[in-house]
Structure 1
Amino acid sequence: MKKLYILIILLSVSTLFACKPKTNAADEVKSIRFKFTELGRETQFRITCDKFDYYFPEGKVKNFTQKAGIDSVMQLLTDMKRADEGYQPDVRGKIYINHPNNTVDTLCVGVKVLTYKSATYETPQALLALIQK
């Protein structure tokens, strides 16, 4: 009877560990880096993501390495609303999301819309405020 109880306890514990959700290393974030210029700055033409560093080589930089800061930025990005098709940002900043496996996600940020993982979203005003803080 004692062996049966031990077996039941071991099965229960192993079931709990098997059901624990596994975190994907690509979803974890090691740090976030903002590179930006004045978000209200206007130019005569739209700046594309690939030309941002060319036109604004002296951009300001802001880094988030603490978990609380990273979590607040990721929460803002998780709650974004999709923008209508056809909109492309007039890029005034880039956000680099660095993962522990050395992959980097890049967001191209405009005042009205931003691109993230090949999709266009409305730029959260709270994100712009956080960048300029």
Structure 2
Amino acid sequence: MKKLSIIAILIVCAFFACKPKNNPADEVKSIQFKFTELGRQTQFRITCDKFDYYFPEGKVKNFTQKAAVDSVMLLLTDMKRTDDGFQPDVRGKIYLTHPNNTVDTLCVGVKVLTYKSATYETPQALLALIQK
């Protein structure tokens, strides 16, 4: 019986020792959406660096509570990568602020978005959340 208890303790300790540690740089403490109407038409494609120039009056939503941040991050971690050469016609930006105050920027279009130099299909649930 004593050997069984020791084995059980060792298994539990091994489980927690093998559990991957969260990288603090991957954690997000707040999220800010800056956006305009997603269906807004322009005569040309708006690039990420020109979004603030063309839409200075953009709306802003902030998420600082952990549950809200986690729900947005769940949408972002399940994105499907696309390599079809499309670049977003930017209608919004998402700023992810990490605990060390570094900020990652996602440039959001209706069909695709860019994040860390990669292009992903824009989750429709994310668009609904932004416009809500």
SS of 2:127 mapped into structure 1 = helix
Which residue number in structure 2 is paired with residue 96 of structure 1?
95
SS of 1:72 mapped into structure 2 = helix
Which residue number in structure 1 is paired with residue 41 of structure 2?
42
Residues 35-62 of structure 1, C-alpha deviations (whole Å, 9 max, x = no match): 0000000100000000000000110000
User: What's the CA shift for 1:85?
Assistant: 2.9
Task: Tell me: CA distance 1:50–1:20, structure 2 relative to 1, closer, same or farther (3 Å).
Answer: same
Task: Tell me: CA distance 1:16–1:127, structure 2 relative to 1, closer, same or farther (3 Å).
Answer: closer
Root-mean-square deviation (CA, aligned residues, Å) is 1.9
User: What's the CA shift for 1:117?
Assistant: 1.0
Which residue number in structure 2 is paired with residue 121 of structure 1?
120
Gaps of 5+ in 1: none
Whether 1:56 aligns to 2:69 is: no
* Percentage of pairs with the same residue: 86
Which residue number in structure 2 is paired with residue 131 of structure 1?
130
SS of 2:52 mapped into structure 1 = helix
User: What's the CA shift for 1:81?
Assistant: 0.9
User: What's the CA shift for 1:83?
Assistant: 1.9
In the alignment, the residues of structure 1 paired with residue 126 and residue 16 of structure 2 have an alpha-carbon distance, to the nearest angstrom, of 37
In the alignment, the residues of structure 2 paired with residue 14 and residue 131 of structure 1 have an alpha-carbon distance, to the nearest angstrom, of 42
Q: TM-score, normalised by structure 2?
A: 0.86
Alignment of 1:67-86 (within 5 A): 67-86=66-85
SS of 1:127 mapped into structure 2 = helix
User: What's the CA shift for 1:23?
Assistant: 1.7
Alignment of 1:25-40 (within 5 A): 25-40=24-39
Amino acid at match of 2:62: N
In the alignment, the residues of structure 2 paired with residue 96 and residue 32 of structure 1 have an alpha-carbon distance, to the nearest angstrom, of 6
Task: Tell me: CA distance 1:14–1:88, structure 2 relative to 1, closer, same or farther (3 Å).
Answer: same
Q: TM-score, normalised by structure 1?
A: 0.86
